[in-house]
Structure 1
């Protein structure tokens, strides 16, 4: 199918647009953009004729690879503004990495429906929170002690690895539930993406190593060509997302992002029900 020039042009355009959206979201919401890249990559890989059991984990592994440079860029820019909570990152560092590696190991044996179900549940919760404006979404004022925070970190790592996200959406949810201001939560979540994306990418490379039917350009469950086509635009738009995060009202963008998450949830639910 890649021998068809029109198909190749459409794929390059789709991945470039996805890269631009990933970078913008990474800076704006402190997320790695996996909510954009996973469904786009999944559609691209299925369009190329790969079955869901290959397309889904490869979409997730490649998404984590793309998140590495975008999360580093976003975290660095937020850190310059002094809004990254380094204490939180220090407590989360080890459990997040361990959780990410555990999630990557599960990926080798899990059916595609598991990835889709985790994505639907977590993205659905975040969409609900965004659409309601976060009203009533508060557990307490102040973060818990290091023990519970480490549990949060482990769960954050496992879920992020199974979803192919940098963990920013989940980290944002955890922090804001405990009264952390949105700008500080967004900035700290950008740092979480660095902790998740690197071990997650390596884990998915190992999880897919030797599997039959992989993409020709892939190392395990990571597509190098998709990575190369997506990265340039994402790096360009990350700084614009950071600037918007510190200047503009977020309500309209939160609503739009929530509606996108709802559409992705419906798409994956359809794939679970129909097997395609």
Structure 2
């Protein structure tokens, strides 16, 4: 195996380990690495969504094995997410996302701060209280922004936790629903970009996928063992850290 492909295996392993443990990071990390190597954003997002199908299945099954999945919640996320994913994938394939990505980052950064503040006031076993809100709306926006480089976990997991759901259930249910949405988005990207475009990065995608498949069961085990407050806090800190560069860029444009 070439050194570059070995590094992509490590990227996939690390990204999936983080994503499976705190419910976000795989898409953002993998897409960012591919874009940094010079790959066009739409092609990078398409490649990552192709890898999300098998890795998402492995992650979902691992979370199910450890009792982290609420299938009723997962089902309520899927259909709206598919609708949002079709719109999002078509948008990124046909239009620049220089304005959309900073706005999404601003939303996610604010959500991260709110989650951190809520975590600091975590006083009961239930964390944020009884579940509330509409998962369908969460799924819609999660699918929409996921196409822009990994918004599914940050939006869906964070919002579900904010709605009062136990972190491990929010993470497991979101991971269980993700491969279906990823498959739809990959098909939309293939339609607009052409299947030939995706085959040119096949070895890179396979290397990332291999690392992620190894990490999936490890991450599911960790999320079942770590305290909910710790997971929620990690979610908030990760959101803020990932989105600071885009937020700073947006502020610079406005000024």
Q: Give the alignment's TM-score, normalised by structure 1.
A: 0.75
- For the pair 1:142 / 2:131, whether they are aligned, the reply is yes
- For the pair 1:157 / 2:143, whether they are aligned, the reply is yes
Partner of 2:186: 201
Q: Counterparts of 1:13 and 1:226 in 2: how far apart (Å)?
A: 10
Q: Counterparts of 1:256 and 1:12 in 2: how far apart (Å)?
A: 29
Partner of 1:21: 14
Q: Counterparts of 2:226 and 2:237 in 1: how far apart (Å)?
A: 20
Q: Is the 8 A contact 1:96 1:196 kept in 2?
A: yes
Alpha-carbon shift at residue 207 of structure 1 (Å): 2.5
Alpha-carbon shift at residue 15 of structure 1 (Å): 1.4
Cα distance change, pair 267–143 in 1 and its aligned pair in 2 (3 A): closer
- For the pair 1:228 / 2:206, whether they are aligned, the reply is yes
Q: Is the 8 A contact 1:127 1:262 kept in 2?
A: yes
- For the pair 1:110 / 2:95, whether they are aligned, the reply is yes
Partner of 1:213: none
| Superposition pairs of residues 90-109 of structure 1, within 5 angstroms | 90-109=75-94
Deviations 1:76-109 (A, max 9, x none): 1111223311111222221111111111111122
Q: Is the 8 A contact 1:168 1:192 kept in 2?
A: no
Alpha-carbon shift at residue 266 of structure 1 (Å): 4.4
Q: Is the 8 A contact 1:30 1:188 kept in 2?
A: no
Give the match's secondary structure for 2:147: helix
Structure 1 gaps, min length 5: 1-7, 211-216
Cα distance change, pair 237–192 in 1 and its aligned pair in 2 (3 A): same
Aligned residue-pair number = 247
Partner of 2:49: 64
Cα distance change, pair 229–268 in 1 and its aligned pair in 2 (3 A): farther
Q: Is the 8 A contact 1:218 1:224 kept in 2?
A: no
Q: Which has the higher contact order (CA 8 A, sep 6+)?
A: 2
Q: Is the 8 A contact 2:77 2:135 kept in 1?
A: yes
Q: Counterparts of 1:113 and 1:175 in 2: how far apart (Å)?
A: 27
Q: Is the 8 A contact 1:118 1:162 kept in 2?
A: no
Query: Which is worse superposed, 249-258 or 261-270?
Result: 249-258
Q: Is the 8 A contact 1:101 1:200 kept in 2?
A: yes
Alpha-carbon shift at residue 179 of structure 1 (Å): 1.2
Q: Is the 8 A contact 2:102 2:249 kept in 1?
A: no
Partner of 2:5: 12
Alpha-carbon shift at residue 125 of structure 1 (Å): 3.3
Partner of 1:219: 198
Q: Counterparts of 1:223 and 1:91 in 2: how far apart (Å)?
A: 33
Structure 2 gaps, min length 5: none
Partner of 1:3: none
Query: Which is worse superposed, 230-239 or 60-69?
Result: 60-69
Compare the two structures and name the one with the higher helix fraction.
Answer: 2
Partner of 1:42: 35
